[in-house]
Amino acid sequence: MASFKPAYIETYNKGLLKEKIARAYKILRACALCPRACGVDRLSGERGICQTGEHAIVSSYNPHFGEESPLVGDHGSGTIFFSRCNLLCLFCQNYETSHQGEGVPFSSEELAKAMLLLQERGCHNINFVTPSHVVPQILDALDKAIPSGLRIPLVYNTGGYDLPETLSILEGVFDIYMPDFKFLDSKVAEEFCDAPDYPEVAREALKEMHRQAGDLVMNEQGIAQRGLLVRHLVLPRGLAGTREAMRFLAKEISLNTYVNIMAQYRPCGRASEVTALRRSLTDEEYQEAIHMAKEEGITRLDERRRAFVLHWT
């Protein structure tokens, strides 16, 4: 893997990136980037569910050491956190950013500079957090960052509420896809994020991401270079549908899927509105989720425990 070169280099050299930028910005005229399909003209200042217009809003960017092991390495994952979201889970742990929009508008030039700065600081990748509603802006920034020397992998770190049609524009741009696989029950998805179609949308998105990138591949140092890495946040009382999620990954994606089964749920945002979400996860619930994954054949699990799990009586 010493000669690894990110896919976007070839895409840029062939002149294909500008075509992708044009396709993506055309969608913003009557926005249908994501399944919400708000239909607003974002280039004229109209706002849909994501409350984002022509410019991406960035809440922060920095080397991050709390991500999955294959992303962090010794120097961290170069995370760029976008404000607003197309999914808006009521229990979001970044509620102030995703729902309330804390952040600063970035031009394409400013976004390109942020990528290059993170690369200069030694980050192993550029990790776009919540990118689904700002795909055109990311592509336009890349067109400016690549000739200035950007050469590290890109991570599409998403809630999983992505259209295959939009993801197809990203083929040859992103080497690493890191979607959430949140809920497998449409009623749960409707209650928690007003998106009853989330389970089916996420399934199709995962298929497209895996088609493009395949299973996760790492270099000799254990740093991710290409592939799919799936996150699954375990919720109290089995609300995330863990067994069904793992069964889908094993049977319809790959038994070699790299999965981070996350234990960090705690009541945030508007979680208090739902009785079942008013407490943190128990250790027993987390261990049961791990057991389910292994029973379904998913054994390539991230080793990092990213949060303390509380014991409840």
pLDDT value at 222 more than 50: yes
pLDDT value at 15 more than 80: yes
Look at residue 3 in the predicted model and tell me its pLDDT.
75
Which CATH number is 7-295 given? 3.20.20.70
Look at residue 278 in the predicted model and tell me its pLDDT.
95
- pLDDT tens digits for 74-124? 999 999 999 999 999 999 999 999 999 899 999 999 999 999 999 999 999
Q: What distance lies between CA 34 and its chain's CA centroid? A: 13
Look at residue 309 in the predicted model and tell me its pLDDT.
38
Look at residue 303 in the predicted model and tell me its pLDDT.
79
DSSP conformation class of 249: I
| 82, two tokens | 């976008």
Look at residue 311 in the predicted model and tell me its pLDDT.
34
Domain ranges (residues) in the chain: 7-295
Average pLDDT over residues 298-304: 89
Look at residue 206 in the predicted model and tell me its pLDDT.
98
pLDDT value at 238 more than 50: yes
Look at residue 307 in the predicted model and tell me its pLDDT.
40
Average pLDDT over residues 193-204: 98
pLDDT value at 2 more than 90: no
pLDDT value at 184 more than 80: yes
Average pLDDT over residues 209-238: 97
Look at residue 304 in the predicted model and tell me its pLDDT.
64
Question: How far apart are alpha carbons 253 and 154 in whole angstroms?
Answer: 21
Q: List the Cα angle 228/63/86 in 5-degree steps.
A: 55
Beta-carbon count within 10 A of 32 CB: 17
Average pLDDT over residues 241-256: 98
The whole-model pTM stands at 0.95
Average pLDDT over residues 158-178: 98
Look at residue 4 in the predicted model and tell me its pLDDT.
86
> Confidence class of residue 279 from pLDDT cuts 50, 70 and 90?
very high
Strand partners, 156: 128, 177
Average pLDDT over residues 198-219: 98
Strand partners, 58: 82, 104
Average pLDDT over residues 249-254: 98
> Confidence class of residue 172 from pLDDT cuts 50, 70 and 90?
very high
Looking at 70-74, 93-97, 163-167, 203-207, which range is the least confident one? Answer: 93-97
| Tokens 């508007």 belong to residue | 270
Mean pLDDT of the chain, nearest integer: 95
DSSP conformation class of 215: B
Look at residue 286 in the predicted model and tell me its pLDDT.
97
pLDDT value at 313 more than 70: no
| CA distance to 151, 230, 262, 307, per residue, from 265 (Å) | 34, 16, 8, 8
pLDDT value at 310 more than 70: no
| 146, two tokens | 């690549």
